[in-house]
Amino acid sequence: MELTEKTLYYWLSVCGMGAGRQNKLLDIYSVEEIYDRVQRFDSELIRFLDEKTVRKMQRFSDASYIEKKLDSLYDNGISFITIKDEKYPEKLAQREVCPPSVLFYKGNIDLLNSSCVAVVGTRTCSRYGKECAERIASELAEYSITVVSGMATGIDAYSHQAALDAGGNTIAVLGSGINKAGPVQNLGLFSRIVEKGLVVSEYDADYVGTKYSFPERNRIISGLSDAVIVVEAAKKSGALITADRAVEQNREVFAVPGNITSGKSEGTNNLIKNGARLLTGVKDVLTFFNFRQTEIIKNNTVVALDIYEEKIYSLLQNAESDVNELSEKSGFTLQETVEILFSLEMKNLIKREHNNTYTIARALN
Amino acid sequence: MLAIVKSCGLHGIDGFEVQVEVDINQGLPGMEMVGLADTAIKESRERVRSAVRNSGLMFSPKKITVNLAPADIKKVGSYYDLPIAVGILAATAQVDYKQIGDTVFIGELSLDGKLRGIKGLLPLIIFAKNKGYKRIVIPYDNKKEAEYISGIDTYALKDLEEVVRFLTPESGVQPMVKTEMELGGDSAKYRQDFKYVKGQAFAKRAMEIAAAGGHNILLIGPPGGGKTMLAKCLPSILPDLTVDEALETTKIHSVAGLLNYDEGLVRLRPFRTPHHTASRLALTGGGPSSRPGEVSLAHNGVLFLDELLEYPRSTLEILRQPLEDHSITVARVSRTVSYPANFMLVASMNPCPCGFFGSKTHECTCTPAQIAKYHAKLSGPLLDRIDLHIEIDNVTYEELSDVSSESESSDAIKRRVNAARKIQQERYSNEGFSSNAAIDQKMLAKYCTLDKKSELALKMAFEKLGLSARAHSRILKVARTIADLDGSENIGFSHLSEAIGYRSLDRSYWK
C-alpha cells in the first residue's frame, strides 16, 4: 500500500507522542521525512528524540499494520483530518494552541469552521449552574452559534443537550478515543451529538482517557472557540484550565457570576475579579464580537396570548413561581392555573422545573 | 353409636365443607382423631373433654373415634372443637341427634365450656349460606361479624350449655336479628384531616384525583416536606366502600385474624403501611397456613410504602403482579391459595440521596451521577404502573403560620370523591370493574376518547415534553377521573392539561 501524507500523519499521531513533541518534530521535518528517517533508524532523529521512542515508531511503521488500523477506524465510522487539511480550522492551527496534528471525528465536520463559543463548567453543578448552562446554550443555538464543550457530566452535558434541544449545533471534544467515549450516562447524548453535531478527539479511537488527557483536551475546546464562557466552577475546577488556555490563546473569557456564598461559583467569581468579562446573557458575547443582529436569523414567531395567559406570564416575569403561588396571586383556581400554564408551556414561553415551579423560557417579542 | 355433624374449613378466603364423624364403641377409653388434622385440632381432644365435663355433661368413658372428612385435605384452626363436642353428645344420646340435621357448627371451646371467637368466620358463614344450610351455630364473640349475612339462621351462643339447650326441641333459642350494613362514617373516625395540611394545594388536588379514580400515586419530595402527612390524610377522603367491597375486605381481615370483634366488619377502606423491613412473605402472604399478606389486607384500600427506595428491590418487584392482576397467588407445596389484592399504591420517595434535589430552600449536594443511580433503583416496570407522580416541596414558614387561610376539610373533598366514584361505578357496571384506574388498553378507546383539540394538545405535549410512551394511557385515565370530578361526560382540554401536569418523573429535568 502506498502511504499517503494523510496516512503518515495518522501514523505519527498514534505513535505515543504528545502533540507538543509532534509539533516540534514537524517544525523541522515533513512527515514523509520523519517516516523515512524512522525506517532508516536515522541517528539525527535519535539524537532529536530518543532511541526508545524511535524504536516504538519503527514498530508501528509497517504499512500493512497501519492499513489494518485505519480499516478498523473507518469500520467504526470514525474519520480524521490532518493539520494540512483545508477543513482544519485556522483558529485551531495557531501556535499558541499547540494544535493536534490529527483530529479524529464523528459527525458533521463542517461545524469546525462555524462560529463557535465554548460553554464549560463544573461536573458537580448546582441547579443554578444547570439553569444558566441551558439558558446560555439554547440562546447561542438560536443565534446559530455552535456550542463547544467537553461532554463531561454536569455543565458540559447540559450545554450540549440544550443546544441540541434548541435545534442548534454543538461540538464535543473528548479526552479519550471516540470509541471510549464516556461517561456511561452521557452515551445517549453522545449518539445525539454524533447525529446532529460533531464529536472530535485528538486521540486514537481506542485510547482510554487518562487523568492527563482530559485537561489536555481543554486547549482544543478553547482553541476551537471564539470565546469561552465559564458557567460555574469551584475554586479548583477543570473548567478553570480551559479558561487559562483561552487566555494563552487570546480568546475572550466570559464568566457567569454566582452567589458569593456558593462554593461552586468561587472559581467563576475569581475569574471576574481577575479580568474575565462578566456575562449575564448571550448578548454580552454578541456585542463583544459585533455580531450584527440583523444578520442573525432568529426564528421568532409572534405568539398571541389571551388575557389569562398574559396575566400568568407577567407574574412569572417578575419571579419564578410554583403552581400554588401563581393560583393565589392571579386569583385563578388551581385547575385554571394549571391549564393556562400548560398552554404557555406548549407555546414554549415558559418552562417547568422541579417542584411544579415555572420559569420564563423565552421573551415575548 | 355414630353421629355426623356438619362444619366448615377455610381455604384462602373461601370455605369448604367438613363432616365431623364421631363414632363411640367398646374399647379402651380414649379419643382417636383422623383426617389430616393439624396440632391445634389434635389438641382439641383435651379441650373437648374438659369442656363437656365442666358443663355438667357426661364424657363417654369408651373408645371415641373422630374423623374429619374429606380425609385428604389438611385441616387447620380451632373451628372443630364445637362440632366434635356436639358429635360426642349426640353419639351418647345426651342431645337429640335429629335436631342436628342441617345445622353447621363452628367454634372453639375453652375448658369451662365457653365458646371462643375464631378467625375467618365471615367467609365460612357466607359459604354455609351459599351451600344452602339453614342454620349455623357460631361463638357469641363473632356475633357482629355475622350480623350482615341474611338468608341463614344464625345462632350466636355463649357456651356448651346453651348449645345443648338449642338442640332441645322447643327450647325457644332464637336466631340473632340481622341488620343492614352501615358503611362509611364521618370524618371523626380519622385522626388526620386535610384541614390541617397547610399550603400544598397542588398536592392535595392530586390526592383527591388519586382517591377518586383509585390511581396509584408517587409523592416525591425532600424530608419534612409533608409526604407522609399527605398520605396519612388520604383515608379521610377515600370513597365509601360498597357492600360487596366491604364483605370481601372483611373476609380477608377475618381470615388474617385482624378483625375487631366489636366492629365485626371492615367499614373503612383499609390503609396498610408495611415498614420497609417487611419481608417478602409479609407482603405477599404465605407461611404454613398461607396467611394473607399486606397486599391482600390492603384490598379495596391503600397500600402505603413510605420511602419507597428503602425497600429491597426484590420486595418491590413482587408488587408487579398484584398491581396488574389485582390478586395474588400464594403457592406452597401443601396448597395454593389466591387472595384478592386490588389496592391503590401510594408511595413516597426523596428526589435524591440527600433529599434536596430541586428544592428551593436547600442546596442539593448530590452529583448527577448519584442522582441517576438513585433513580435507577426505581424499577421501570413498577413505575409503569403508577399513574400520578407529583413533587412536594417544603412549606414555608409564612404558609405554616398563616392562620387566616383555612384549608378545605376532608369531608368536603370526600363528597366530590364519592360523587366521582359513583359516576365510574355506574359507567362500568357491566364491565366488571369500578374505577378508572382499572381501565385496560382495550377499554381505553371506549371510555377515554378525546376531542380534536385535546388530541392535538396531547400529541404536542408528547413531542415537546419528551413524555414516554407509557405515559399515554396513564394520562388518559387520570384525565378521565378529572373529568368525572368535574361531572363532565367528555374529557376536555382542561382535564387533559391537568393530567399531564401530574407526570413529574416523565419530565426532562430529572435527567
Chain A partners of B199 at a C-beta cutoff of 8 Å?
324
Residue A89 lies inside a defined structural domain of this protein: no
CATH of the domain at A274: 3.40.50.450
ipTM: 0.79
**Are A324 and B199 an interchain contact pair (Cβ–Cβ within 8 Å)?**
yes
Q: Do residues A232 and A313 share a domain?
A: no
Distance from C-alpha of B229 to C-alpha of B394, rounded to nearest angstrom: 12
| Closest A-chain CA to B370 | A124
Q: Which of A93, A260, A104 is nearest to A174 (CA)?
A: A104
Q: Give the mean pLDDT of A304-313.
A: 89
- The secondary element (H helix, E strand) that includes residue B2 is strand B2-11
Residue type present at position A17: M
Partner-chain contact B372 A336, CB within 8 Å:
no
pLDDT band at A198 (very low <50, low <70, confident <90, very high): very high
Across A161-180, average pLDDT: 94
The mean pLDDT value for A314-321 works out to: 89
pLDDT of res. A152: 93
B177: helix, strand or coil: coil
**Quick one: B101 exposed, middle or buried, by C-beta within 10 A (0-12, 13-18, 19+)?**
exposed
Q: How far is A233 from chain B (nearest CA, A)?
A: 14
Task: Cite the beta strand spans of B117-161 per DSSP E.
Answer: 135-139, 153-157
Domain range enclosing A34: 1-75
Collect all residues of chain B within an 8 Å Cβ-Cβ radius of residue A156.
Answer: none
Asked if residue A42 and residue A133 are part of one domain, the reply reads no
**How many domains does the structure of chain A reveal?**
3
Least confident span in A241-250, A296-305, B34-43: A296-305
- Which residue shows C-alpha cell 475579579? A273
- Among A191-195, A317-321, B347-351, B357-361, the least confident range: B357-361
A273 with A149, same domain: the answer is yes
- Compute the distance between CA of residue A350 and CA of residue A341 in angstroms, rounded to an integer: 8
- Confidence at residue B105, expressed as pLDDT on a 0 to 100 scale: 95
CA atoms within 13 A of residue B117's CA, in its CB half-sphere = 19
**Are A162 and A70 contained in the same domain?**
no
Q: Are residues A116 and A64 in the same domain?
A: no
Q: Is residue A90 part of a domain?
A: no
Cell reading at A176? 479519550
Residues A137 and A210 in one domain: yes
CB contact under 8 A, B200 and A336: no
Grid coordinates representing B492?
A: 376536555
Cβ B200–A324 below 8 Å, yes or no?
yes
What is the predicted pLDDT for the residue at B405? 66
Which residue carries 375453652 as its cell? B110
Residue A273 to chain B, least CA–CA distance (Å) = 25
In chain B, ranges of CATH 3.40.50.300 domains: 187-430
| Residue A294 pLDDT grade (very low, low, confident, very high; cuts 50, 70, 90) | very low
Q: Which residues of A touch B351 (CB under 8 A)?
A: 354
Which residues, at least 6 apart from A62, have a Cβ–Cβ distance to it below 8 Å? none
**Chain-centroid distance, C-alpha B92:** 44
B77-122 residue pLDDT tens: 888 999 999 999 999 999 999 888 889 999 999 999 999 999 889 9
Kindly indicate the confidence band of residue A185, based on its pLDDT and cuts at 50, 70 and 90.
Answer: confident
**CATH code for the part of the protein at B2-166:** 3.30.230.10
Q: What predicted TM-score, i.e. pTM, was given to this entire model?
A: 0.76
Give the phi and the psi of residue A4 in degrees, each rounded to 5: -80, 170
Whose cell is 389434635? That residue is B42
Residues of chain A found within 8 Å of residue B368, distances taken between Cβ atoms: 123-125, 153-154, 157, 185
- Name the residue in chain A with its Cα closest to that of B492: A339
- Interface mutation target, options A355, A356, A358, chain B, most CBs of B under 10 Å: A355
**pLDDT band at residue B467, thresholds of 50, 70 and 90?**
confident
Chain B's closest residue to A337, CA to CA, is: B498
Q: Is the pLDDT score of B209 beyond 90? A: yes
B152: phi > 0 → left, psi -120 to 50 → alpha, else beta; which?
beta
The span from the CA of B245 to the CA of B251, in Å, is 10
- At B139-197, the pLDDT tens digits run 999 988 888 888 899 999 999 999 999 998 887 888 888 887 777 655 556 778 888 88
Output the nine-digit C-alpha cell for A7: 496516512
The helix/strand/coil state of B90 is: helix
Q: Exposed/middle/buried for B432, CB within 10 Å: 0-12, 13-18, 19+?
A: exposed
Handedness of CA A16, A19, A20, A23 (dihedral sign): positive
Q: Which residues of A touch B453 (CB under 8 A)?
A: none
pLDDT at B485 over 50: yes
A17 and A126 belong to one structural domain: no
pLDDT at B339 over 80: yes
More confident residue, A294 or A58: A58
Three-state SS annotation for chain A: CCCCHHHHHHHHHCCCCCHHHHHHHHHHCCHHHHHHHHHHCCHHHHHHCCHHHHHHHHHCCCHHHHHHHHHHHHHCCCEEEECCCCCCCHHHHCHHHCCCCEEEEEECHHHHHCCEEEEECCCCCCHHHHHHHHHHHHHHHHCCCEEEECCCCCHHHHHHHHHHHCCCCEEEECCCCHHHCCCHHHHHHHHHHHHHCEEEECCCCCCCCCCCHHHHHHHHHHHHCCEEEECCCCCCCHHHHHHHHHHHCCCEEEECCCCCCCHHHHHHHHHHHCCCEECCCHHHHHHHCCCCHHHCCCCCCCCCCCHHHHHHHHHHHHCCEEHHHHHHHHCCCHHHHHHHHHHHHHCCCEEEEHHHEEEECCCCC
pLDDT digits (tens, 9 = 90+) for B261-293: 777 788 888 999 999 999 888 999 888 778 899
Residue A181 has pLDDT above 90, yes or no: yes
Nearest-angstrom CA–CA distance, B210 and B478: 8
Q: Quick check: A297 and A282 in contact, CB under 8 A?
A: no
Examine the domain organization and report whether A47 and A195 are in the same domain.
Answer: no
What residues in chain B have their Cβ under 8 A from chain A's Cβ atoms? 199-202, 205, 221, 351, 357-360, 363-364, 367-369, 372, 390-393, 457, 460-461, 464-465, 493-494, 497-498, 500-501, 504, 507, 509
Does residue A260 share a domain with residue A120? yes
Q: pLDDT digit string (tens) for B290-333?
A: 889 999 999 999 999 999 999 998 888 889 889 988 999 888 87
Residues A274 and A318 in one domain: no
Measured CA to CA, the distance from residue B386 to residue B384 in angstroms comes to 6
Q: Do B357 and A354 touch (CB under 8 A)?
A: yes
Residues of chain B contacting residue A334, judged by C-beta atoms under 8 Å apart:
201-202, 205
d(CA B269, CA A88): 71
Q: Which residues of A touch B509 (CB under 8 A)?
A: 352-354
Contact B360 A348 (CB under 8 A): no
Alpha-carbon distance B84 to B80, whole Å?
Answer: 6
What is d(CA B110, CA B93) in angstroms, rounded to the nearest whole number?
A: 22
CB pairs under 8 A between A and B: 86
Query: Residue A204 domain-assigned?
Result: yes
Using one digit for the tens of pLDDT, what is the confidence trace for B368-420? 667 878 888 888 888 888 999 999 887 777 776 776 667 888 889 999 999 99
Compare B288 and A3 and report the one with higher pLDDT. Answer: A3
Domain boundary among A244, A273, A295: A295
B230 pLDDT exceeds 80? yes
Q: Where are the beta strands (DSSP E) in B316-428?
A: 327-331, 336-340, 344-349, 388-391
Q: Which of A295, A319, A347 is the last residue of a domain?
A: A295
Residues A284 and A331 in one domain: no
Residue A230: inside a domain: yes
Residue A80 lies in a domain: no
Q: Is the peptide bond before A183 cis (omega within 30 degrees of 0)?
A: yes
The CATH class that applies to domain B187-430 reads: alpha beta
A262 and B372 in contact by Cβ < 8 A? no
Does pLDDT of A105 surpass 80? yes
pLDDT at B178: 83
Of the ranges A166-175, A311-320, B174-183, B410-419, which one carries the lowest mean pLDDT score?
A: B174-183
Same domain membership, residue A290 and residue A192:
yes
**Is the CB of B199 less than 8 angstroms away from the CB of A352?**
no
User: Percentage of residues in chain B with pLDDT exceeding 90?
Assistant: 45
How distant is the Cα of B110 from the closest Cα of chain A, in angstroms? 60
Domain(s) of CATH 3.30.230.10: residues in chain B? 2-166
